[in-house]
Structure 1
Amino acid sequence: MQIEEQHDAALKKVAEMVGDTKFAMLTIMERDGTLRSRPMSTMQLDADGNLWFFTSQSSLKFVEGQRQWQVNLCYVRTDKQDCLSISGSAQFVHDNEKMKDLWTPEIKSWFPNGLDDPDLTLLKVSIVEAEYWDGPR
């Protein structure tokens, strides 16, 4: 029971920080071993601890053929001077219903063709480990 309570408390802290920030820097290792980061808009942190993002399949061409790959997400709340680092396993999810549920008008700025864009997909990041650093109080 104690482990479950710790897990719930940790997930609550992650949810608080993600909810306050919304944007993350997603870091992925390229095929040549170099690291590449890109900003991502967090659409949802679900009850199972998965983070959901809209993305373009072509922007992540180097992971083509891989079912899952390791990523890092960094969230920073500058007003509170704290930081959250999430290590996780990422995968593309092609789910039209989930995309409809998560779609917001702001996403159209990046995907002008909306949900009809054939390059549009969801990126699901399953949290493996999360660390955070509190700012000075």
Structure 2
Amino acid sequence: MEIDEQHNPALAKVAEMVGDAKFAMLTTKEKDGTLRSRPMATMQLDSEGNLWFFTSLSSPKIEEAQPDQQVNLSYARTDKYDYLSISGAAELVHDKEKMQTLWSPWLKPWFPKGLDDPDLALLKVSIIAVEYWDAPDSATARAYGLVKALVTGDTDALGEHRKLDVNEE
């Protein structure tokens, strides 16, 4: 996965967390309003705050993301108790050069025809808003934060929780 330096300073923490997690759960809305999630391998977070994924044109997520193009991406690092929720706008992209840049041989089981597959496309998600929970790195610091919160009610030592509107930062 490729993580570019972010032009928007608000996305620096997001870039770090996405780079650590690598896989997202992409949530779309079906026609009847039902929410549906599926795992996606993040291929890139570009410098403009766009996340890139490979997809099949025949996948139901393509139709589900089309009407209003609003999607959610959830990332989790359960070993560190770090969580990231990204609201974004999805766009289907047919750019052979970009696909070549992002292609990895480990994608072959899902796309056996490789870059020549007519069903292959890119899904670009432009980040609109973010919410994250970032716990302390060490188990000791997390335990201290929990004890402090239980005793004093002060949850600051449990980690950082922020909501970011990317367009306002």
Q: Identity of counterpart residues, as a percentage?
A: 70
The number of equivalent residue pairs is 129
Give 2:159's aligned residue. none
Give 1:57's aligned residue. 57
Residues 29 and 64 in structure 2, CA contact (< 8 A), matched pair in contact too: no
66-75 or 88-97, which moves further after superposition?
Answer: 66-75
Runs of at least 5 residues in structure 2 that lack an aligned partner in the other structure: 1-7, 137-141, 143-169
Residue 63 of structure 1: CA displacement?
A: 3.9
Say which SS state the counterpart of residue 109 (structure 1) adopts: coil
Give 1:38's aligned residue. 38
1:16 aligns with 2:16: yes
Could you tell me how far apart the structure 1 residues matched to 2:127 and 2:115 are? 26
Residue 42 of structure 1: CA displacement?
A: 0.1
Map 1:50-129 onto structure 2 (within 5 A). 50-59=50-59, 60-63=61-64, 66=66, 69-129=69-129
Residues 27 and 71 in structure 2, CA contact (< 8 A), matched pair in contact too: yes
Give 1:4's aligned residue. none
Residue 72 of structure 1: CA displacement?
A: 0.2
Runs of at least 5 residues in structure 1 that lack an aligned partner in the other structure: 1-6
Residue 68 of structure 1: CA displacement?
A: 5.7
Q: Please, what TM-score do these two structures have when normalized by structure 2?
A: 0.72
Could you tell me how far apart the structure 1 residues matched to 2:102 and 2:68 are? 21
Could you tell me how far apart the structure 2 residues matched to 1:32 and 1:117 are? 31
Q: Which amino acid aligns with 2:63?
A: F
Judging by fraction of residues, say which structure has more strand: 1
Which protein, 1 or 2, shows the higher relative CO under an 8 Å CA cutoff with sep ≥ 6?
1
Say which SS state the counterpart of residue 17 (structure 1) adopts: helix
Q: Please, what TM-score do these two structures have when normalized by structure 1?
A: 0.89
Q: Select the structure of larger CA radius of gyration.
A: 2
Could you tell me how far apart the structure 2 residues matched to 1:74 and 1:51 are? 12
